[in-house]
Amino acid sequence: MEPVQRWWEHAVGYEIYIRSFADGTGDGIGDFPGMLDRLEHLAWLGVDIIWVTPFYASPMRDWGYDVADYTAIDPTYGSLDDFDAVVARAHELGMRVLIDIVPNHTSDQHQWFREALKGPDNPYRDHYIWRDAPADGSLPNNWVGYFGGPTWTLDEASGQYYLHLFLPEQPDLNWRNPAVLDAFDDILRFWLDRGVDGFRVDVAQAMVKDAELRSNPQIAPSDESMFRWDQWNAFEHRHDILQPESVDIFRRWNRIAEEYDALLLGETYDLVQMDKLDRLVSGGDAIHVGFWFGAMHMEWNAEQIRAAFDLPLTNISAGLGWAQDSHDEHRSVTRFGGGDLGRQRALSLTVLLMGLPGLPFLYQGQELGLESGVIPPEAKLDPVGDDDPNSGRDGTRTPIPWEPGPGMGFTDAASTWLPFGGRTDADTVLVQRELPSSSLHVHRELLAVRKGLGEIATEPLKWIADVAGDLVAFRRGAIAFVANVGDEPTELPVDGTVLFRSGDGSGATLAADEAAIVRIG
């Protein structure tokens, strides 16, 4: 019997960073009423799934990824009724809704942690990870956080340290405690019963820690003055992430998700430990789809692009998600040179991602060809990064420009939570809707072409051999996806009908930085 194709297996997703998508209440911050008014844009674009970043009650030290209550909407974003209206309207428009669940850590303002701080005998103490302060004044181990720096903060009242892989205000949960497992079962069901179609699982790779909290092997020099990823990469992350017990949690969640035909989409952020990632996603009984982030960490050249695709495709047997942009990294247009050059390259990469086996996602504004916004020093809000405001994540989180005017259609307020970052009228949805050659229309055409290629859903990827060094070319059945990463025009390596092209090449010629989809034969 042929396996049943799940609803996400030939879909295209779209990430909504809620604070910057659309403001419906006039306070300069995106919210659910604003989102409701803009959902038709996504349906028109051709999106199948929307993923909404955290909207839970939060002190906003990390803009919602520090959750104070997993079943409450932060008033900044509206109410449960507003949330329900968005889910209902998305479903009417034929789109599924994923919400971010943040299970690695809570806010330090969550009631569980407030109780835990009352002392070692409190029933909630074991919801978190604590260790006695070593007598020699050192930290419990040598782990570094995703934001750089040590991962331990001293609770002076008890003389114990608590663990946090992110900010000190984001204490890590103890997933070896059955009470935490039970609590999240209820949280998942709360939202599934409200009609959500699944969850994007934040920090899915790091929830369970080594039972003994052993130090990681250090493989390069590291100090707190270094860039956060350089600090992170100075260690072999043997004991802090990708522990084998994580699979058991996701198998438990999978059983709940199956009751609702829901998707578990994991933020499986590791580019090295492929065997451990494979265990999380490839059995079909744990995480359904795990994001692969290699496309966010590569240069614009054929060798690195092929490697960014081939590594996961070779080592992970199923369940891959693809993204080149997100709320955590500079936009690909900026990374690939900025301006028209960066836009052309970013679009060509999107063409390739649409051909890979798995679930591709766009990040809001990607369809507009947006560069990272430029943030003045006095407007910096991201807790990550140094004194340069553009070293952090603010630039990729600036509000979406919907139409020309003082609030760019995003808000009626006099100011926004983050500046627009230098957007122009040409960046807006309204102007691009009226220009058939705009980035918006080209992305819409690309999604429509891909939607019409349902035949590739069950076809494996095969690299096209004997291509020039600046070509990236693969096929899924009779459909080829080809990109010219070089500076000079080149010939397509296959004969057939061109279904889509991202640039100004013609016939069998690919222009520099152009990609095409070709039906072979």
Quick: pLDDT tens for 14-72.
999 999 999 999 999 999 999 999 999 999 999 999 999 999 999 999 999 999 999 99
pLDDT of residue 71: 98
C-alpha separations of 366 from 16, 43, 63, 444, 459 in Å: 11, 15, 21, 11, 27
**Residue 8 in contact with residue 281, Cβ under 8 Å?**
no
pLDDT by residue (tens digit) across 422-448? Answer: 999 999 999 999 999 999 999 999 999
Here the tokens at position 478 are 């009779």
Query: What percent of the chain is modeled with pLDDT above 90?
Result: 91
As a whole number, mean pLDDT of residues 88-93 equals 98
Enter the CATH code of domain 13-103+178-208+243-449: 3.20.20.80
pLDDT of residue 86: 98
Maximum C-alpha span of the chain = 74
Same fold, 111-163 and 461-520: no
Domain residue ranges in the chain:
13-103+178-208+243-449, 111-163, 461-520
Residue 170 clears pLDDT 70, i.e. is over it:
yes
SS3 390: helix
pLDDT of residue 3: 59
As a whole number, mean pLDDT of residues 476-481 equals 98
According to DSSP, the residues that pair with 515 across neighbouring strands are 483
Residue 107 clears pLDDT 50, i.e. is over it:
yes
CA dist 290 and 284 (Å) reads 11
Domain 111-163 top-level CATH class: alpha beta
CA dist 446 and 350 (Å) reads 9
Query: For the whole model, what pTM was predicted?
Result: 0.97
pLDDT of residue 388: 67
Query: What percent of the chain is modeled with pLDDT above 70?
Result: 98
Residue 210 clears pLDDT 80, i.e. is over it:
yes
pLDDT of residue 498: 98
Domain 461-520 top-level CATH class: mainly beta
Catalytic residue numbers? 202, 259
What's the mean pLDDT when you consider all of the chain? 95
pLDDT of residue 466: 81
Residue 391 clears pLDDT 80, i.e. is over it:
no
pLDDT of residue 1: 43
Residue 385 clears pLDDT 80, i.e. is over it:
no
pLDDT by residue (tens digit) across 234-251? Answer: 999 999 999 999 999 999
